[in-house]
Structure 1
C-alpha cells in the first residue's frame, strides 16, 4: 500500500510536437496547481527519442518524472528516428498512429507496476489518439481523462465527420450535414482534411479512428484546452454524444521560459531578442505576423501569391518561412527559388523573414503586432486571443478548418478566413484585400479587433483565481481533480484489481491552492 501523502498523475501524449507541448504545459500547470501536496509525482510517458529530447531541455522540476515506453519504429516499417511526426513525411503518419497501439502492453504493465508498488495513479490523462488507454484504465479501475489540445467545436466537427463519413455517402455533394451535430453544419467539401476526404471506411485512417474514437466512451471525461465562454457549443456535443464529463480548463500554455527551453535549437531561427528588437522599431498595431505552425507549409504557387500580397499591401510583416509542399519543411529556405525575384530587397526594412521557428508567444504579446495570419491551430489561436490579437485564417489540416469557422462566425468574431487548404486557387489581390480589411480602418477590421479584445477579457476572467472570484477554467480544473479524488476514495472500499490497490485520502488534497 502506498503512503497516504503520495499522489501520482500519469500524462501520455501522442508522439507529435503539437501534442507533446500542450501536454507538457498541462503537466507543469498541474504541478503548480497541486504544489502544496507532499510527494506529488507527474509521470510523463512517451517513446525513447521524445523522452530524451525532453530530458535535455526541460527546466528543473521536483514533480515531473519522464518515463520511456519501449518503441522501435523500424519494427513497424518506419525510419529508425520516427518517434515523432516531425521526422515523418505525411503519408507515414497513419502508420505511426497504427504503430502507437503497440504501446498498449507496456502502458498496462507500467500501470500494474505502479499499483503493485503502492503508487496507484490518481488519474491518467491521455491523448485523443490513445483511446485504448481509456479501456486499459477502466479494466484496472484507474480514473481516466482524454486531453484535447483542440477546441471543443473543432473537435466536435472532426469527431462527427469520422463517425458519420457523410461525404462518402454523398460523393457528388459539395456540402454535408452532420447528423449528430447540426450546430456544425453544413460542412463544405473544401473544409474536409485530406485524411477524411479520402476516407471510405476501409482505409488506414478510417480503421484507426473507428477503434480509437469508440474507446473514448470508456473514459471518465474529456479535458479541453479551451474556454467555456466562447466554446460551449462544441463542449455540449461531447456531453451529449458520449455521456461523459467535460472540463474546459484552458488556456493551458507554456510560459515563454518553458517554451524556449523545450523548443529544439534552431540556429537559423530568430531569438526572442532579435524579434523584439525589430518589432520595437515599428509603430503600435502595425505588423502582420505570419506563421503556419511547425507541421504546415504552403504550396510553392500559394507562397508566391502570399509574398506578392504582402509586398503590395505596404504593411509591415514578420513571416516565419518554411520550404513549400513537396520539400523537407525543416530544410534550409531558398528565398531565390520560392519567393518573387527581388522580394527581400524590395521589402527590406518593413518585412522580416525568419526561417522555420520564431518565438511566437513573445511576438504576439508585442504591442506592434496588429494581426496574425495563421493555420488556426488551437495553440496558436489561444496565444493570439490571450493577447487580443485578431486573426486571418488559412486552415490547413485536421480540425483547423472548423476552428476557423468558430473564430469567424461561431460567436468569437475575431477572424477572417483568407484561404483554405493547400489546393485550389489563391490570388494575391484577394489576399491583399483581406489583409487590408483586417488591419485597416474598415468596419470589419474594427469589429474584429473589438471581438479579439473581448475574447482576451473572457480568457483573463476564466483564469482568474483569487479571493474575489474564481474563473470558469479554474473551477473546471478543480472539478476534474475532485472527480479523480472521489473515484480514488471509492476504490478503497470497492473491488481490488489483481495486482493490488492504493488510494489517497481525500482530506489531504486541497484543490484551491
Structure 2
C-alpha cells in the first residue's frame, strides 16, 4: 500500500470509538480518499475493525487500517472498547486509554518512507496535537458536534466555571453568541467530572486545550445553519482554518428509554391520535432488560395497530424521515439525528438527554424556532397529556411560518452539499490545504 501510493498525500485519521463519533469521521475519510489525492490510514483497535469494512471493501479507495492492540492496562472492561458496546461511564477512561497508543504510533510513523503530513482526530483525542507536534506534522480536530455546541464546550475549558459561579441557578456563556445559559446539570458531563476531581481530569483538560491549539478544525455543520458560531470559533481559535463540511452522511443514533419513559411516550401516542412509527429498539444488556428499558407498554401495539407501527430492531431512520408521510420527529437532539431531521424537512420535538444535546436544543428551539422542547434530561418522564398535545399539534395545519423556516433550512442543507455549495467549497478548500502540505515545508 505504501509503495503504491507514493504520489498521494498521506493522511492519518484517529477516530474515537463511539458510534456517533466514529461514523461521521469515516464519512469524512471517504470524501478525502474519493478525491484520488490522498492515501488515508485509519487507526483502529481489533474490536472496531469491522466498522471499517464498507470503506475497505471499496478497492478503488486508498484507505488502509492501522490495527493496534487495545492498551492492556486501559481500565476499560474487557471486550467493551468497541463502538457499539462502549458504556457511557467508560467515555472518560477511553480518552485516556487511547493516548497510550502513542508509542506504537511513533514506531509505525518512523518505519514509513512516505509518512503522513497531517493527522485528523476526534475532539476526544486531544493528545494527538502534541503527538503531531513531536513529529513535525499538522494536527486537525474533527468535531461530530455542531458549532454552537463546540463553542460552549470550548468556553467551558477556557473559562473553567464552577457550580458556585451559577447565577440564578445557571451558568451564563456571555462570550458565546446569543449568550446561552444552562443549569449546572446540563453542562458537559466530561467537564463536570473535571470539577469533581476525577483521577484523569487534568489529562482531559489538557486534551481539550490541545484541541483549541490544533492547526485546524473540521466540523460537521454548514454555514447557513451555524454561521455566527463558525465565525465565533475562528475568533476564539485565532485563525481561519475552520472548515464546515456537513451535513456528512450521519449514523442512526439510538436513545433507549427507561420503562417509565416508555409508558409516558406510549400513553402520549395513544392519546394524541396521530399516525406514527415508533423505533423502540430493545436493549442488549440484561440489566436494562430487567429494569424495563425499551419495553413497549403491554397491549399498546394491539390498541394502536390501525394507525401505528412499532419497530423493535434496527430501523432505516433516514429513509423513514424522508418519506413524505412523515411530518414530525421526536428526537433526543444528538447532532447526527438533528442533521437527519433537517435534511428531511420534518418538525422536531426536542427531548435533549445529555452531552451536547442541550446546546443543540437551544439552537433548534430558542434560536432557529424550528422545534419544540417537550422534555429535558435522561431521567425525566414527560407528562403524557402534554406530550400528546405536542404530538397532535405538530401535525396540525398550523405553524405555517415554522414549516417555512424548516423547509428553508432543508433547502439550505441540500444546497450546501451540492457542487459550488458552501460545504462543497469548504471541502474543496480542506482538500487543497491538506494536499499542499506534501509540497510545502512544515512550519
- The partner residue of 2:13 within 11, 14, 26 is 11
1:243 positional shift: 1.5
1:311 positional shift: 0.9
Is structure 2 residue 348 aligned with structure 1 residue 350?
A: no
Is structure 2 residue 195 aligned with structure 1 residue 200?
A: yes
Alignment partner of 2:84: what SS?
helix
1:325 positional shift: 12
- Taking a change above 3 Å as real, the CA distance of residues 41 and 159 of structure 1, as seen in their structure-2 partners, is same
- Give the alignment of 1:64-143 within 5 angstroms: 64-72=62-70, 74-114=72-112, 117=113, 119-143=114-138
Is structure 2 residue 425 aligned with structure 1 residue 430?
A: no
- The partner residue of 2:243 within 244, 247, 272 is 247
- The partner residue of 1:386 within 343, 350, 353 is 343
CA deviation vs aligned residue, 1:388-421 (integer Å, no higher than 9, x gap): 12211111121111011111122x3221111111
Alignment partner of 2:221: what SS?
coil
CA distance in 2: counterparts of 1:201 and 1:100, whole angstroms: 22
Which residue does the alignment assign to 2:257? Answer: 298
- The partner residue of 1:47 within 45, 48, 57 is 45
CA deviation vs aligned residue, 1:223-279 (integer Å, no higher than 9, x gap): 01100112122222321222232110111116xxxx7xxxxxxxxxxxxxxxxxxxx
- The partner residue of 1:407 within 339, 364, 376 is 364
CA distance in 2: counterparts of 1:299 and 1:29, whole angstroms: 38
CA distance in 2: counterparts of 1:369 and 1:205, whole angstroms: 45
Equivalent pair of 1:166/1:178 in contact (CA under 8 Å)? no
Which residue does the alignment assign to 1:451? Answer: 405
- Taking a change above 3 Å as real, the CA distance of residues 57 and 239 of structure 1, as seen in their structure-2 partners, is closer
CA distance in 1: counterparts of 2:157 and 2:210, whole angstroms: 14
Is structure 2 residue 423 aligned with structure 1 residue 464?
A: no
Alignment partner of 2:22: what SS?
helix
- The partner residue of 2:438 within 485, 488, 501 is 488
1:436 positional shift: 2.1
- Taking a change above 3 Å as real, the CA distance of residues 64 and 192 of structure 1, as seen in their structure-2 partners, is same
- Taking a change above 3 Å as real, the CA distance of residues 103 and 159 of structure 1, as seen in their structure-2 partners, is same
- Give the alignment of 1:215-254 within 5 angstroms: 215-244=210-239, 245-253=241-249
CA distance in 1: counterparts of 2:284 and 2:54, whole angstroms: 31
Is structure 2 residue 33 aligned with structure 1 residue 31?
A: yes
- Taking a change above 3 Å as real, the CA distance of residues 92 and 149 of structure 1, as seen in their structure-2 partners, is closer
| Structure 1: 5+ residue stretches without partners | 260-290, 496-513
- Taking a change above 3 Å as real, the CA distance of residues 461 and 356 of structure 1, as seen in their structure-2 partners, is same
CA deviation vs aligned residue, 1:9-68 (integer Å, no higher than 9, x gap): 222210111111101211112233x13x4xx42212211110144338854232243323
Which residue does the alignment assign to 1:479? Answer: 429
Alignment partner of 1:63: what SS?
coil
- The partner residue of 1:22 within 18, 21, 24 is 24
Alignment partner of 2:372: what SS?
strand
- Taking a change above 3 Å as real, the CA distance of residues 208 and 308 of structure 1, as seen in their structure-2 partners, is farther
CA distance in 1: counterparts of 2:387 and 2:54, whole angstroms: 41
Which residue does the alignment assign to 1:277? Answer: none
CA distance in 2: counterparts of 1:121 and 1:19, whole angstroms: 22
1:126 positional shift: 0.8
CA distance in 1: counterparts of 2:357 and 2:284, whole angstroms: 18
Which residue does the alignment assign to 1:371? Answer: 328
CA distance in 1: counterparts of 2:173 and 2:286, whole angstroms: 35
- Taking a change above 3 Å as real, the CA distance of residues 314 and 475 of structure 1, as seen in their structure-2 partners, is same
CA distance in 2: counterparts of 1:439 and 1:167, whole angstroms: 42
Alignment partner of 1:27: what SS?
helix
Q: What RMSD in Å do the two structures reach over aligned CA positions?
A: 2.9
Is structure 2 residue 364 aligned with structure 1 residue 362?
A: no
CA distance in 2: counterparts of 1:61 and 1:12, whole angstroms: 21
Which residue does the alignment assign to 1:161? Answer: 156
CA distance in 2: counterparts of 1:87 and 1:128, whole angstroms: 20
| Structure 2: 5+ residue stretches without partners | none
- The partner residue of 2:278 within 312, 319, 331 is 319
CA distance in 2: counterparts of 1:52 and 1:341, whole angstroms: 37
1:139 positional shift: 2.4
1:430 positional shift: 1.1
Stretch deviating more after TM superposition (312-321 or 207-216): 207-216
Q: Report the TM-score when normalising by structure 2.
A: 0.90
1:143 positional shift: 2.5
Equivalent pair of 1:94/1:204 in contact (CA under 8 Å)? no
